């Protein structure tokens, strides 16, 4: 599984995966990626999360303190139970509705999210505790 290392976001994601796996070099295979069940990418200045869709066994994902505006590319991470998007710039969370295993979700300090969006997400994910502070 190759990441596009010319893309700064994917390079940061691969670096975090390698650190988690303690695999500083060599090819990352699906067997490697399937071992990743938790990952922290906080404070990375990420603007997208392309590449994370390869982590099919991911259960916990920390994406707080980045510059993310959307959640696309996460819809197939169906094993996620814990997800933090605190302190980002999200404008839409519709794709999170597919993550029906989520039990904890932080959306604090995403100023462009609305109460209506959070309410719709809560209806789609009734077993998930959503933490947010929409002002619109």
Query: In the predicted model, is pLDDT for residue 1 greater than 70?
Result: no
- Rounded Cα–Cα distance for residues 105 and 80 (Å): 10
Mean pLDDT of 98-110: 97
From the number of C-beta atoms within 10 Å of its C-beta (0-12, 13-18, 19+), residue 123 rates as exposed
**pTM beyond 0.85, yes or no:** yes
Q: Closest Cα to residue 8, out of 70, 92, 66?
A: 66
Mean pLDDT of 108-125: 97
Q: Which fold has domain 8-131?
A: 3.80.10
Look at residue 2 in the predicted model and tell me its pLDDT.
76
Domain boundaries, the chain: 8-131
pLDDT single digits (tens) 54-69: 999 999 999 999 999 9
DSSP 106: E
């Amino acid at each position: 599984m190759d990441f596009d290392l010319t893309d700064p976001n994917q390079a940061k994601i691969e670096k975090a995966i390698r650190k988690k796996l303690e695999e500083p070099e060599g090819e990352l295979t699906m067997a490697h990626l399937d071992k990743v069940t938790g990952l922290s990418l906080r404070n990375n200045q990420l603007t997208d999360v392309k590449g994370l869709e390869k982590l099919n066994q991911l259960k916990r994902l920390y994406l707080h303190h980045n510059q993310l505006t959307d959640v696309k590319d996460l819809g197939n991470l169906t094993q996620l139970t814990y997800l933090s998007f605190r302190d980002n710039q999200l404008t839409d969370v519709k794709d999170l509705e597919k993550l029906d295993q989520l039990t904890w979700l932080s959306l604090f300090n995403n100023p462009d999210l609305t109460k209506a969006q959070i309410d719709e997400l809560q209806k789609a994910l009734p077993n998930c505790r959503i933490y947010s502070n929409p002002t619109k």
